[in-house]
Structures are given as structure tokens and as C-alpha cells.
Amino acid sequence: MDNNKPCYIDTFQSGLLKKKARQAAEILQSCTLCPRKCRVNRQAGEKGICRTTDQAFVYGYHAHFGEEAPLVGRYGSGTIFFTHCNLKCNFCQNFEISHKGTGKPVSNMELANMMLGLQNEGCHNINLVTPSHVVPQILSAVQLAAERGLTLPLVYNSSAYDAVETLRLLDGVVDIYMPDFKFWDPRTSDITCGAPDYPDVVRKAILEMHRQVGDLVMDASGLANRGLLIRHLVMPDGLAETLEIMKFIATKISVNTYVNVMPQYHPSGDIGSIKSLRRQITPKEHAKALQYALEAGLTRIDQR
């Protein structure tokens, strides 16, 4: 495969991209796009946990310079922030967008125009943030954008609460997967997200992502053009069980996985009675999490 060419170009030219977009849209009639499997008819205006019907909502889009080094380069990552979410962590760092629904509806053509606009600004990729519940809209928009000259790699930036069946529709479309492996313990994901199946789902999802794109590949300038990049948000009091996650990544995914061990947790959203979530992490906790990654054998750790 030519790593310098986005994989969706061949998928588009073969006609398969249009077929994938059509198949994904049909799922909206009884929605099982994500592991919630709400089975509402989103094409008829019904809403499930993601609160989104057949039209995507977007909070904003712009060149973003706060992402991982292989995505940012000189001109930034072309980030599109989708409103709503299928996971809805009670501590979400973007609570206004994911829970309160700040944003506006956009047509698939408007979404395609956003992608093309970011390309015209010189961005190095199209970074789709919280995309799990709007895969059909994304596929249709990529089809429209490819018809008009989109040539940037696509980044799928998700919580990893993704159904494997839906990820398979993205095979040959997404160039870079950037999931966040949040929790190891089902009890933690239950009290924070109402999703006790999250740890099992994310393990299967990331295995599928890696099957599709492999380890992160960068060009001579250090820009990513294909592969897997895993984020992990360090939580207070070891709530995320970082050691177990790093061991899984190293032994079950790949010891060459590019990992970002993130220190930016801060109290946000509606954390309720969960005492551990009421404070930021300490430098010592972050240093310990980094040490866990190294002890697991991971060496490709984002440096910022």
C-alpha cells in the first residue's frame, strides 16, 4: 500500500466508498452503530443515547495545534468537533459539547466543505473528534469531498467505544485511528459512563483498528500518514488502572504502538459523589503512569 496516499482514494475510485456510505445509512433505521444498540429509527427523527438523528451536529472546526506531534506538523491538524457522544463520561473534559449539545446541525455537503476548507488552509489531516455516532454522515461526506479533491489522511479520534461491525465499514477509509483507552475495570466504566462493557468493547475495537492500519507510520518530516495512536488519560488515585492497560497494549496490540499518556485531567462535568474525580492528577501520578508504559516495554511515547 502507498502510505503517502490516503486509503479512501482507492476505495472511492472503486465505488466501494459509496456502497459503505449506503450500508451505514441503512443502519440508522434501527441504530446499532455503537455498542449501546439503541435501535431507534434515527432517519425518522428518533433519538437514542447519542441524541443525534440522521444529521450530524458540529461544534466547530479549525486547525488544531494541541494534538500529538505526528498530527500537528507546521500547519496543524484539521479538527472537526462533533457534538454529542455515545459514551458520555460524567467527567468529560468537553462536557458542553458531549452532554449539553452545544453545536449546530450540518448537512453531509456542509461537512464535506469543512474537510475541503481545512485542506485549503494547509492542515495535514482531517481529525474527526467523537465520530462514533456519526459514521454514516462521515462516510457520505468523505465521498462528496473525495469527488471534489480531498487528499488528506483521515484521523478517527474516538473514545474507542466502537462496535467492531461499524469499524469494518471504515476499513479502507480511515488512515489513522486515535482511540482513547480509558478504563480497565468494568466497575469504573459503569459508575463514570454507565457502560460496564467498555473495557471489553475497547479491547476488541483497538485490535480491529490495529488490524486495519498497523503501527503508526510517519514520513521523513515526522508527520503521521497511517497507523494506530492510542491515548490514555491518567486519572486520580489510579482509577484508570494504567498498568493493566499498558501491558495489554504491549502484549496484545503491539510493543511498537505509539502512545500518549495524558496528564490533563481536571474536575469537570457532573462527577457526583466520586471522590477521586474531584481533583487534578499530581505530577507524581503522571510520572508513575509513564513509568508503567516503559515497564510494559512501550517506547514510542508522545513527548510534549
Q: Which tens digits make up the pLDDT trace of 158-204?
A: 999 999 999 999 999 999 999 999 999 999 999 999 999 999 999 99
What pLDDT score was predicted for residue 188?
A: 94
pLDDT tens digits for 273-289?
A: 788 898 999 999 999 99
For residue 221, give the CATH number of its domain: 3.20.20.70
In a domain, 180, yes or no: yes
CB 52 within 8 A of CB 134: yes
Cα 93 from Cα 235, distance rounded (Å): 12
Residue 273: its pLDDT value, please?
74
Evaluate whether residue 80 is within a structural domain: yes
Specify if 244 maps to a domain. no
List, for residues 235-294, the tens digit of each pLDDT value. 999 999 999 999 999 999 999 999 999 999 988 878 877 888 989 999 999 999 999 999
CA distance 224 to 230: 13
* pLDDT single digits (tens) 23-45: 999 999 999 999 999 999 999 99
Strand partners, 81: 60, 129
Residue 280 resides in a domain: no
For residue 2, what pLDDT band results from cuts at 50, 70 and 90?
low
Does position 1 have pLDDT exceeding 60, yes or no? no
Of 116 and 93, more confident:
116
pLDDT class of 233 with cuts at 50, 70, 90: very high
Rg (C-alpha) for the chain, rounded Å, is 18
Predicted confidence at residue 266, as pLDDT, reads 87
> Domain range holding 66?
8-22+58-235
Q: Is residue 265 part of a domain?
A: no
pTM assigned to the model: 0.96
In our burial notation (b when 16+ CB lie closer than 10 A, e otherwise), range 2-22 reads: ebeebbbeebbeeeebbebbe
Across the range 39-56, mean pLDDT stands at 97
Q: Which residue has the cell 506538523?
A: 73
The verdict on residue 108 lying in a domain is yes
Confirm if 279 and 236 have CB atoms less than 8 A apart. yes
Residue 100 exposure: Cα atoms within 13 Å on the Cβ side: 10
Contact 199, 185 (CB under 8 A): yes
**Digit-coded pLDDT (tens) for 110-149:** 999 999 999 999 999 999 999 999 999 999 999 999 999 9
Does position 154 have pLDDT exceeding 80, yes or no?
A: yes
Please indicate, yes or no, if residue 200 is contained in any of the structural domains: yes
Structural domain tally of the chain?
1
Which grid coordinates belong to 135? 459514521
pLDDT computed for residue 3 by the predictor: 59
Does a structural domain hold residue 217? yes
